[in-house]
Amino acid sequence: MRHRIAVIGGGPGGLTFARVLHHHGHPVTVLERDPAPDARPPGGTLDLQEGMGQLALEKAGLRAEFQELSRPEGQAMRILDTNGTVLRDWKPRPGERANPEIDRGQLRDLLLGPLDVQWGRRVTEVVPQTHAGVLVHFADGREETFDLVIGADGAWSRVRPAISSATPHYTGVTRVETSLDDVDTRHPDLARLIGDGSVAVYGVNRALVAQRNSGGHVKVGAQFRAPLDWHTDLDLDLADAEAVRSSLLALFDGWAAPVLDLLRHGTAFVHRPLYVLPVPHTWAHVPGVTLLGDAAHLMPPLGAGANLAMLEGAELAESIAAAPGPGDLDEAVRAFEEQMWARAGKWAKITTAGLERLVSPDPTQALAVFDEVQPS
């Protein structure tokens, strides 16, 4: 089999796809818009579930390396009320590895390994069913054709319009992220508050979550229900860190001082409104083009998106590796899509309902969500 296969996007989904195909000895072209692996901060930490992200890494032959890098202690989760009272304090049992954490940058480097990624290749459009195959247009004016193009290019996919008219819509919940460095030495009280994993505080229509990454780095996310243009109404310049900090402190006014310190000591602030794709998101099969990960099923960030993207990447790669001829390749993609739609649709419903309850008028709902999923 020597199909010309391109995966657009070097996120968890695209890289897992490429790595598993590589593991089976098949060539694949990875086209990534970022000019280099470290062109932008890689983002926070991901928990990889046993039957999803971890299974995908096993299919890539990377289970042992993951065990070395991941942080099982990061599974710890503490929930406080807005007065700072600890309501729940879960710690993983010795040897528990159901959802260990790994920094996104470490996961990316692990997956990259021997892959030959073409950096700085921003795709602008994909045209299926041309006489030479699937035509891919790039921002620099170049064009290339392939037998199969996989859109693993995330929420704002440029591959998706080739097969679906769906576009992401705003959930009504926005997120402002900040971070703390060297938390153990610079902010020991906050380090104790956060513990080895995460701390979350739920109030009326708002939440603050802090999550430990490796190396004493902590990501803090303030989530709240607001119109998309909440900052314009407040005449708030999102590039002005001090103004954003003050505005968040006003929004979370009355919460316990140690909790608000997560915002007081945060460095830069990044605004990330939460968007989702319609549920279910399916399309009429188009030969030569498919999607996986956020490009196919963007959903609220409640621990499933990267896991799904990786498992889909691994499964699609395995089916392609087992497909002997061009007709079989298309059949493999069709079967993959059916399987992805069913599983992702289920998770999209779970995470949509989860977000409704986690950022809701009734904070006891948030606690109930955790009580339902945490081992007792």
Ligand X SMILES: Cc1cc2nc3c(=O)[nH]c(=O)nc-3n(C[C@H](O)[C@H](O)[C@H](O)COP(=O)(O)OP(=O)(O)OC[C@H]3O[C@@H](n4cnc5c(N)ncnc54)[C@H](O)[C@@H]3O)c2cc1C
Contacting positions for ligand X (CB under 6 A):
8-14, 31-34, 46-47, 122-123, 152-154, 158, 221, 293-295, 301, 303-307, 309
- Euclidean distance between CA atoms 178 and 74, whole angstroms: 19
Sign of the alpha-carbon torsion through 220, 222, 223, 228:
negative
- Euclidean distance between CA atoms 236 and 279, whole angstroms: 33
Q: Indicate the residue among 169 and 364 with the shorter CB distance to ligand X.
A: 169
What would you measure as the largest C-alpha separation in the chain, in angstroms?
Answer: 65
Q: In 131-263, at which residue ranges do the beta strands (DSSP E only) sit?
A: 133-138, 143-146, 148-151, 169-170, 173-180, 198-203, 206-212, 218-225
Instruction: Say what the alpha-carbon torsion angle 133, 134, 137, 138 is, to the nearest 10 degrees.
Output: -100
Q: In the bound complex, what is the minimum distance in angstroms from residue 257's beta carbon to ligand X?
A: 25
Sign of the alpha-carbon torsion through 194, 195, 198, 200:
negative
State how far the alpha carbon of 58 is from the alpha carbons of 61, 66, 253, 306, in Å: 5, 9, 46, 15
Q: Indicate the residue among 33 and 245 with the shorter CB distance to ligand X.
A: 33
Secondary structure element (H or E) that encloses residue 105, with its range: helix 104-112
Q: In the bound complex, what is the minimum distance in angstroms from residue 235's beta carbon to ligand X?
A: 27
Q: Indicate the residue among 123 and 317 with the shorter CB distance to ligand X.
A: 123
Looking only at the bridges linking them, the beta strands covering 289-291 and 148-151 are parallel
Q: In the bound complex, what is the minimum distance in angstroms from residue 85's beta carbon to ligand X?
A: 25
Q: In the bound complex, what is the minimum distance in angstroms from residue 359's beta carbon to ligand X?
A: 13
Q: Indicate the residue among 294 and 337 with the shorter CB distance to ligand X.
A: 294
Q: Indicate the residue among 299 and 332 with the shorter CB distance to ligand X.
A: 299
Q: In the bound complex, what is the minimum distance in angstroms from residue 119's beta carbon to ligand X?
A: 10
Q: Indicate the residue among 1 and 279 with the shorter CB distance to ligand X.
A: 279
Q: In the bound complex, what is the minimum distance in angstroms from residue 154's beta carbon to ligand X?
A: 3
Q: In the bound complex, what is the minimum distance in angstroms from residue 294's beta carbon to ligand X?
A: 4
HSE-up of residue 219 (Cα within 13 Å, Cβ side) = 18
Q: Indicate the residue among 47 and 318 with the shorter CB distance to ligand X.
A: 47
Query: How does DSSP classify residue 281?
Result: -
